[in-house]
Amino acid sequence: MKVLLILGFLMLSIFFVSSYELCGPRSCMNGYFCASDYSASICRPEAQAYTIIQVNITNEGAWPDSAQFKGTIRNICGVRIRKIVLSVSNKDFPILKTSAIWNARYSKEFEEISLPDYADGIPPNDELYQFGFILKNSNTPKIKIKSIRF
Ligand SMILES: *[C@@H]1O[C@H](CO)[C@@H](O)[C@H](O)[C@H]1NC(C)=O
């Protein structure tokens, strides 16, 4: 119920503030993410993003020179999500090589991971969306949500 209220508020905010404020994954202040749909967008506190999606990163196995991680995302907001952009810092995300990521795209330049990569959005309350990557060390990277597009 609380989630629905927050989401409803978010959608209304997008609707009303829309024409004034356009944002993307790189335009909101630290601690904020950009929520958008086809016609409008707004920066909201990052904590609200976690009422829309759950994101977990788990270590799947480590070797002397690398470690494999699995990311899982669940859409818990009841509305289909078209695109999610997560941010990482290059220091924290020493990818083994540019191809060492799957079901997501990594931009070293923008320090961003965007997904889904193959699917047509992420439907609500469905199976987990999974992605994976290999880093040069086994420290679980910190990931922030920078934008969610409906
Ligand atoms: C993330 O981890 C928590 C705690 O283990 C679990 O309850 C939740 O279902 C997980 N969500 C996803 C999307 O993996």
Evaluate whether 139 touches 24 at the Cβ level (below 8 Å).
Answer: no
The answer to whether the CB of 54 is under 6 A from ligand 1 is yes
Evaluate whether 138 touches 93 at the Cβ level (below 8 Å).
Answer: no
Region 2-28 average pLDDT = 64
Query: From CA 129, how far away is CA 143, in angstroms rounded?
Result: 16
Ligand 1 mean position, distance from CA 126 (Å): 14
Tokens of 109: 């330049």
Please give the mean pLDDT across all residues of the chain: 89
The answer to whether the CB of 58 is under 6 A from ligand 1 is no
Look at the block and give the residue holding tokens 């270590």: 59
Ligand 1 mean position, distance from CA 1 (Å): 19
Domains held by the chain: number: 1
Q: Is the pLDDT of residue 77 over 50?
A: yes
Q: Indicate which CATH number applies to the domain containing 142.
A: 2.60.40.290
DSSP character for 26? T
What is the residue type of 129? Y
Q: Is the pLDDT of residue 39 over 70?
A: yes
19: pLDDT confidence band, cut at 50, 70 and 90?
A: very low
Q: Which range of residues forms the domain containing residue 138?
A: 2-149
Q: What is the three-class DSSP state of 85? A: strand
The answer to whether the CB of 128 is under 6 A from ligand 1 is yes
Whose C-alpha lies nearest to ligand 1, atom 1? 56
